[in-house]
Amino acid sequence: MKAKPVPRYDIPYVNLPAQADEQMPELAAIFARVVRRGSFVGAGAEIERLEARLAEYCGTREAVALNSGTDALFLALKVPGIGPGDEVITPPNSFIASTAVIVHLGARPVFVDVLADQNIDPAAVERAITPRTRAIMPVHLTGRVCRMDQIMEIAERHDLLVIEDAAQSIGSIFQGRKSGSFGHFGCFSAHPLKNLNAMGDAGFVTTNDTAAAARMRRLRTHGMADRETVEEWGFVSRMDVLQAAILDYRLDKLPHVIAKRRENAALYQRLLKHEKIFVPPCRQDEFNTFHTFVIQAERRDELQRHLRAIGIKTAIHYPVPIHLQPAAASLGYRKGDFPATESQAERILTLPVNQYMSAKDVEAVAGEVLSFYGA
Amino acid sequence: MTRIDLPLQPNGTKVQWSYLPRQFNERSVEEILDRLRAFVPSGDFTLGKPVREFEERFARLIGTRHAVGVNSGTDALKLSLKALGLGPGDEVITAANTFIATIGAIAENFARPVLVDCTDNFCMDVSKVEAAITPRTKAIMPVHLAGQMTDMPALMEIARRHKLPVIEDSCQCILGAITDRNAGTYGLAGGFSLHPLKNLNVWGDGGVIVTNDDDFAVKLRRLRNHGLADRDSVVMLGCNSRLDSLQAVIGNWLIDQVDFITTTRIKNAAYLDGELGKLPQIRLPHRYNDRRLVFHLYIVFAERRDELLAHCKKAGIEAKVHYPIPIYRQEGLRPFGYRKGDFPVTDRHADTMISLPAHEHLTAAQLAYMVQTISEFYES
């Protein structure tokens, strides 16, 4: 009988305490500055500055600061008028929000399967197009941009909107272009666990469509054109000024965050060579930012339990595909409809890859994974 | 009596609408920063411990079993209606003179707002509600505007008779009450706003829903967090509408002062009532002995309102009008077919009401200066 494993590591999945440690004096100064100005809500200088910087960073004309990545997706569908009777093609292996916003607008999510790298399969997208299709919503999962050359080509041929779910992919590049700059809208999250993270909920939309951006800025604050005029029914989806100031500060650090994550990921890729483990390779034309580092492994649940027992935190994104969630029952999908997604759901494991990990930490995790398989 | 004059404040006014610089002064900000320095290293930013603590304290403050922190007062209303399962074709009865968010929350649920006029206390005229009920009515949403109270005992009687759920828009009415029963505790649920200019305010958008119904609370908690029952189970389609933990830290700091905020506003309003009530050109809204009105806004009816507003502004008083164009006449409401004149009380209010600062950080001199300015206007 094998001895019960004892925790000999303390490797967290994310490391917000380390980030706080590193940034606390600057963060406190930001809090104090925003409070002194007393402008907590609404499109003030902080919001405008952040929007301009995000647009420049992502390579679009506009960025619109919002309350969350979910709201970014919602407004990106709402502004072009997607609604009842319309279909939106999207993958089922995303976080629930990308599908929920489609349903909330009365439209129908049409799922298509994914490739070995977990991103949407362009050929499957084309097969799913019907006369009711209005938009394609690719999800740049794990910080890897989808095959946007093919997707944009399909969209143009069929006159469809493309709304990029870029929640996990700020700064990722495909064929020389940043995520969020390919489609009509790019939808980003700045949730505390993202690579560019606020200290609460926050998100934004990128676009080259100035009129759409102006409308989004109205919709995020009750649909008001000014204090007295309600142009249309809107929402409350403003990014807190406090969060905008934090993101503005952290945007300077993003290149370093990305570089460190890429370094950690490259080390994993070098070390994790084993027949029981599949690590999607990085192609020449991709610059991946590794919001998550996901391996596809045999006996995944056992591996995760083992790593947890010895003090290495991992996660699964996501164990239950959306089409198999109770909330999706009315969409009429069944187990077996998306074989790649479903088989990946049983094998994917997200290893810690955050910027506060040292090469030694990465080597330790990789070593433990390999030794689990007896290598 | 000697004439009062006041020094100009940094923003170029003498009586400020916003109390934020006084509320968050050097001493209080240092106190809050200490709390934030302790909180931030926890990394507990999403539905964390401060949110649970705030929810418990807010529920205790209002007197309900549950409080659910959400992203805004608007979302508090929107999610409450969503939890009722509202859909296309359904009707919700509400007040014709409310802030747009009330109606936006109804429209967002694909339902139809059915408006009723208000009384001279800015709240729904409950005697007109019954006539507005149809077979499609799914809920009643009274609005406790400006910290005033809708006649809830009478409204609940109607709701019970017609078996309709009541969601109270209490966004402007924290601790408002009728015979000591607080706004938000009469209906199935009550929605509150924590917006920076509300009586209990945080450093960004925030809201809370209170309810005594256990199942309703569970539903609301799921709806605000993507419909998740746990990390991996989506049991319904929800939204992302969470009160940030960071904002809950601010809320937990401020909630101790709510009694002071409320009683000071009531005291300021009583002073203004006493002085302005002497002027024949000013009419006070009806005041009630059995109600605690919390004066999120202090509103009176004024002759030559627009001139008075301009005069106040010139004298450095940040007076406002809530709202000069009633919601039912706004562009966004056109699809619902209301026309100018449909709600005469609301219309009359829009032309005569003026909102004066009455917040807890005003000095006695500022209050007296407002009275003097308004008196002089009518004497001249």
Would you call A34 and B235 a contact, using CB atoms and an 8 Å cutoff?
Answer: no
Instruction: Please give the pLDDT value at position B92.
Output: 98
> pLDDT under 50 in chain B at which residues?
none
Set of chain A residues whose Cβ sits within 8 Å of the Cβ of B18: 38
User: Is the preceding omega at residue A13 within 30 degrees of 0, hence cis?
Assistant: no
* Nearest CB to A319; choose among B20, B232, B238: B232
Across the interface, whether the CB atoms of B240 and A27 are under 8 A apart is answered: no
User: Which residues of chain A from 7 to 26 reach within 8 Å of chain B, CB to CB?
Assistant: 14, 16-17, 19-21, 24
Residue of B nearest to A318 (CA): B232
Contact A233 B72 (CB under 8 A): no
Is B104–A223 a contact, with Cβ atoms under 8 angstroms apart? yes
CB < 8 Å to B237, chain A: 96, 99-100, 103-104, 327
Nearest by CB to B45, which of A103, A199, A223? A199
CB contact under 8 A, A31 and B100: no
Task: List Cβ neighbours of A53 (8 Å cut-off, separation of 6 or more).
Answer: A248, A251
Share of chain A above pLDDT 70, in %: 99
DSSP B153-176: HHHHHHHHHTT--BEEE-TT-TT-
Span A81-90, mean pLDDT? 97
Residues of A in contact with B235 (CB under 8 A): 326-327
CB-based contact (8 Å) between A339 and chain B?
no
Interface of A with B in 68-87 (CB under 8 A): 68-71
Section A217-235 average pLDDT: 88
Nearest by CB to residue B40, choosing from A27, A38, A316, is A27
Predicted confidence (pLDDT) at residue A227 exceeds the cutoff of 80? no
Per-residue pLDDT of A254-274, as tens digits, reads 999 999 999 999 999 999 999
- Would you call A324 an interface residue with chain B, using a CB distance cutoff of 8 Å? no
Q: Which residues of chain A lie closer than 8 angstroms to B196, CB-CB? A: 38, 40-41
Give me the phi and psi of A109, to 5 degrees please: -75, 130
Closest to A321 measured CA to CA, from A83, A98, A117, A167: A98
Nearest to A201 among B20, B24, B71 (CB): B71
pLDDT (0 to 100) of residue B200: 95
What is the helix, strand, coil percentage profile of chain B, to 5?
A: 40, 15, 40
pLDDT tens sequence across A13-41: 999 999 999 999 999 999 999 998 888 99
Q: Which residues, 6 or more positions from B288, have their beta carbon under 8 angstroms from its beta carbon? A: B121, B149, B178
pLDDT of the residue at B21: 87
List CB contacts (< 8 A) between A241 and chain B. 204
pLDDT band at A104 (very low <50, low <70, confident <90, very high): very high
Q: Please indicate whether, in this complex, the C-beta atoms of B41 and A96 are within 8 angstroms of each other.
A: no
Nearest-angstrom CA–CA distance, A61 and A213: 10
Residue A1 has pLDDT above 70, yes or no: no
Closest residue of A to B323, CA-based? A228
Could you say which of A68, A199, A318 has the minimum Cβ distance to residue B246? A199
Whether A236 and chain B come into contact, CB under 8 Å, resolves to yes
pLDDT at B1: 62
Residue A166, min C-alpha distance to chain B (Å)? 17
Give a three-class secondary structure readout of chain A. CCCCCCCCCCECCCCHHHHHHHHHHHHHHHHHHHHHHCCCCCCCHHHHHHHHHHHHHHCCCEEEEECCHHHHHHHHHHCCCCCCCCEEEECCCCCCHHHHHHHHCCCEEEECCECCCCCECHHHHHHHCCCCEEEECCECHHHCCCCHHHHHHHHHHHCCEEEEECCCCCCCEECCEECCCCCCEEEEECCCCCCCCCCCCCEEEEECCHHHHHHHHHHCECCEEECCEECCCCCECCCCHHHHHHHHHHHCCHHHHHHHHHHHHHHHHHHCCCCCEECCCCCCCEECCCCCEEEEECCHHHHHHHHHHCCECCECCCCCCHHHCHHHHHHCCCCCCCHHHHHHHHHEEEECCCCCCCHHHHHHHHHHHHHHCCC
Say yes or no: A232 contacts chain B, CB-CB below 8 A. yes
DSSP bridge pairs for A66:
A203
Q: Which two tokens stand for residue B107?
A: 């429209």
CB distance A254 to A170 below 8 Å: yes
Q: State the Cα–Cα distance between residues A70 and B71, nearest whole angstrom.
A: 13
pLDDT, average across residues A76-105: 96
Look at residue A2 in the predicted model and tell me its pLDDT: 57
State whether B71 and A67 contact (CB < 8 Å). yes
Question: Is the Cβ of A32 closer than 8 Å to some Cβ of chain B?
Answer: yes
ipTM at complex level: 0.90
Count of positions (residues) in chain B: 380
Question: What is the model's pLDDT at position A3?
Answer: 65
Which of A28, A222, A230 is facing B331, going by the closest CB pair?
A: A230
Q: Phi, psi (5° rounding) for residue B234?
A: -95, 105
Q: Tell me the nearest-neighbour CA distance from B325 into chain A, angstroms.
A: 7
* pLDDT per residue as tens digits for the range A284-327: 999 999 999 999 999 999 999 999 999 999 999 999 999 999 99
How many CA atoms lie less than 13 Å away from B245 in the CB half-sphere? 21
- pTM of full prediction above 0.90: yes
Give the pLDDT score at A198.
98
